[in-house]
A and B are shown apart, each in its own frame.
Chain A
């Protein structure tokens, strides 16, 4: 790998080579898989993916994997600790002359939001505190997807899941909205954090390329529209990935050693209703009766966020 950062100006700058091969058992239209596909084009094939229990666990199903690189499935709560062991061992073996530099690998955790926001939060915090040199990619589909869409602490306010049949949050169960994992990570001041969306591949590629230059934890929160769990036609994944960003719900940003920059800012955002409509998990906000108060609350949250972002 050359140390010279590659410039990504348009889609043609992305490597044509596919490093995540097709034919996986994941659902058609998986937003998370598209992010992994794009990220791999920047990361290259000298990687070992360290996985936590979730949808991506099914990517590698004996005796097949779709990767050019290596894979280690760990547990739901400890993939970052697995990355610690792999990274440390690679460093030790190199220092002791038992592994040549060209045999070295980048260690990449791939975990869903259930693991990232809930079970593995302490293990992740540990790696940030220890400044472990690794990548973390969270594909956030805003619920426990692999078990059939139960509420996680990444589930947005108002969304219906299998365990929040009336919609998450509010007076019903006293829960607040989605945890702000970006800010939780940022409180540790790691070298690099970014949010990415599958519908913004150049923004995504630039961020992975930028992170390559930094040593230490490099964390990515990926917007992962989920046709199966969110209740929409798989063909519309890219449309929802775009709307999530265009409505201001999923801000594209990065934080270098804690300093935040938004990488996609508009003067006006499209109304959140455009994003919510058509998704089964938000249907109850419109049918049988339009839930004006809830819709207002959701729009207000987005407006409040952007009011706090310096232009």
Chain B
């Protein structure tokens, strides 16, 4: 066990190394590249036995990853943003192969306009693919989640790929203290991968990814994936318990922060939840009972855990660091679906914040709190809002003028 400062990317690379992955097909993309550079170095110097291969695209990369996993190897790969979408066809395909590989996505907002900093439209575009999703807040959690991800994915009740998400820049390039377990400790937690369901050998020919005709067969196989993803909730619980016993750290499907006695709640995910927690501490210092619910496992969707955590709150604000154009926030709709059947469901306020890595300031959290309190007093639910400060608005207006686009067409 070693404690040291690691970036989120380095923590991800250590996760793969400690899981003793056999194979890493890779393709560079900012802000993920440091992960594959680190792994390439380790494979090159022989500290990781197996093979690292530079592929010709993310589409090829994920095909090779899935095919190697279908042959019986433990596989790791990583991408970001455009890369994840370039590989989108394979997300669905390899999930259908039921291969338990782990893919790290380092979140970065999608083009257009092309940019570098994080939001979650990339990883949420993989939401319905059949890949499970764990979203990490800290560098420690990145490493831990990768180890947990292999054990969940390889469980015979699950057998689905897992995406572990971390925010670009906010986490990928941020150094935090990370406790790095020893290989022996990890071996005791994560048994070797030795599949029988997906494997190519001469003695036991197997057809994988085979075509079906007719909706009944197709429905059967796709719904099998859904049932397996449902199983992953309980499996996560078992794995989290084993992880806690082995390493002393505790992870749930969701994380409540000062939430139990709170009247109001913020719902957030990933690294920006740290900013949310800072705001909670500030409000608590003022004596205002606010807590935070962090969504950690997005697939399988932890509907019951969310409903239980938010039950009886006076008002809840969901901050979506994503935007479904023409709809609004993605997770607010999912949280609403988790609460709908509850008798005592709290009102939900919806905010879009942190798109493309936009900062979230104290003023914006203050505004949300004000809205929550007003709602509790008057029942008023404001329309979904984009979090945006006056200063940012002035800056944007100035840039629009420089670009000769002085007239704004937004209402």
Which A residues have a C-beta under 8 Å from some C-beta of B? 46, 48, 50, 57-58, 60-62, 65, 67-75, 77-86, 88-93, 95-96, 98-99, 102-105, 122-123, 125-126, 129-130
Q: Which residues of B contact A62 (CB under 8 A)?
A: 207, 210-212, 217
A73 to B66, CA, bound (A): 11
B36 close to A (CB within 8 Å): no
Q: Which residues of A contact B60 (CB under 8 A)?
A: 78, 80-81, 84, 122-123, 126
A126 to B207, CA, bound (A): 25
- A72 adjacent to B67 (CB under 8 Å): yes
* 24 chain-A/chain-B pairs, Cβ below 8 angstroms: A57-B211, A65-B207, A67-B207, A74-B63, A77-B59, A78-B60, A78-B90, A81-B25, A81-B60, A84-B60, A85-B67, A88-B53, A88-B68, A89-B72, A89-B75, A92-B51, A92-B68, A93-B73, A96-B49, A98-B72, A99-B72, A103-B202, A122-B56, A130-B53
Q: 1/0 contact trace for B104-140 toward A, CB 8 Å?
A: 0000000000000000000000000000000000000
Q: Which residues of A contact B73 (CB under 8 A)?
A: 88-89, 92-93
B206 close to A (CB within 8 Å): yes
Our pick among B49, B59, B70, B194 for the contact of A86 (Cβ within 8 Å) is: B70
Given A65-B207, A81-B55, A89–B67 Cβ distance below 8 Å?
A: yes
B46 close to A (CB within 8 Å): no
A65 to B207, CA, bound (A): 8
Closest B residue by C-beta to A132:
B53
Give the Cβ gap from A206 to chain B, nearest Cβ, in Å: 25
- B207 adjacent to A85 (CB under 8 Å): no
3 closest A-B pairs by CB: A85-B67, A126-B56, A81-B60
Interface residues of B in 41-73 (CB under 8 A from A): 49-51, 53-57, 59-61, 63-73
Q: Which residues of B contact A61 (CB under 8 A)?
A: 210-213
Give the Cβ gap from A26 to chain B, nearest Cβ, in Å: 13
Q: Which residues of B contact A70 (CB under 8 A)?
A: 200, 205-208
A98 to B61, CA, bound (A): 24
Which B residues have a C-beta under 8 Å from some C-beta of A? 22-23, 25, 49-51, 53-57, 59-61, 63-73, 75, 89-90, 93, 194, 200-203, 205-213, 217
Given A78-B59, A126-B56, A71–B207 Cβ distance below 8 Å?
A: yes
**Beyond known contacts A85-B71, A122-B56: 20 more, CB 8 A cutoff:** A58-B211, A61-B213, A62-B211, A68-B205, A71-B206, A72-B209, A73-B208, A75-B89, A80-B60, A81-B56, A81-B67, A88-B73, A89-B68, A89-B69, A89-B73, A91-B51, A92-B51, A99-B72, A104-B202, A123-B57
A96 to B212, CA, bound (A): 35
- B64 adjacent to A72 (CB under 8 Å): no
Q: Which residues of A contact B22 (CB under 8 A)?
A: 89, 92-93, 96
Closest A residue by C-beta to B60:
A81
Given A70-B205, A74-B93, A84–B211 Cβ distance below 8 Å?
A: no
Closest A residue by C-beta to B206:
A70
Give the Cβ gap from B163 to chain A, nearest Cβ, in Å: 18
Candidate in A77, A86, A89, A90 with the most chain B CB atoms within 10 angstroms: A89
Q: Which residues of B contact A93 (CB under 8 A)?
A: 22, 71-73
Q: Which residues of A contact B54 (CB under 8 A)?
A: 130
- B68 adjacent to A123 (CB under 8 Å): no
Q: Which residues of A contact B89 (CB under 8 A)?
A: 75, 77
Candidate in A65, A75, A102 with the most chain B CB atoms within 10 angstroms: A75
Q: Which residues of A contact B208 (CB under 8 A)?
A: 70-73
A84 to B55, CA, bound (A): 9
Our pick among A46, A79, A90, A92 for the contact of B50 (Cβ within 8 Å) is: A92
Given A74-B93, A88-B23, A126-B60, A99–B201 Cβ distance below 8 Å?
A: yes
A138 to B22, CA, bound (A): 31
Give the Cβ gap from A87 to chain B, nearest Cβ, in Å: 9
A123 to B50, CA, bound (A): 22
Given A88-B51, A96-B49, A73–B59 Cβ distance below 8 Å?
A: no
- B203 adjacent to A89 (CB under 8 Å): no
Give the Cβ gap from B91 to chain A, nearest Cβ, in Å: 11
A75 to B207, CA, bound (A): 15
Give the Cβ gap from B142 to chain A, nearest Cβ, in Å: 25
A104 to B69, CA, bound (A): 16
Our pick among A67, A69, A78, A99 for the contact of B63 (Cβ within 8 Å) is: A78
A123 to B59, CA, bound (A): 9
Q: Which residues of A contact B23 (CB under 8 A)?
A: 85, 88-89, 92
Q: Which residues of A contact B61 (CB under 8 A)?
A: 81
Given A86-B70, A89-B22, A99-B201, A73–B64 Cβ distance below 8 Å?
A: no
Q: Which residues of B contact A57 (CB under 8 A)?
A: 211
A104 to B200, CA, bound (A): 8
- B71 adjacent to A89 (CB under 8 Å): yes
Q: Which residues of B contact A67 (CB under 8 A)?
A: 205, 207
A99 to B203, CA, bound (A): 11
Q: Which residues of A contact B66 (CB under 8 A)?
A: 82, 85
Closest A residue by C-beta to B212:
A62
Closest B residue by C-beta to A69:
B205
Give the Cβ gap from B165 to chain A, nearest Cβ, in Å: 23
Given A57-B211, A78-B90, A92-B51, A103–B203 Cβ distance below 8 Å?
A: yes
Give the Cβ gap from B69 to chain A, nearest Cβ, in Å: 8
Give the Cβ gap from B48 to chain A, nearest Cβ, in Å: 11
Give the Cβ gap from B57 to chain A, nearest Cβ, in Å: 6
Given A58-B211, A89-B68, A96-B49, A75–B206 Cβ distance below 8 Å?
A: no
Give the Cβ gap from B401 to chain A, nearest Cβ, in Å: 42
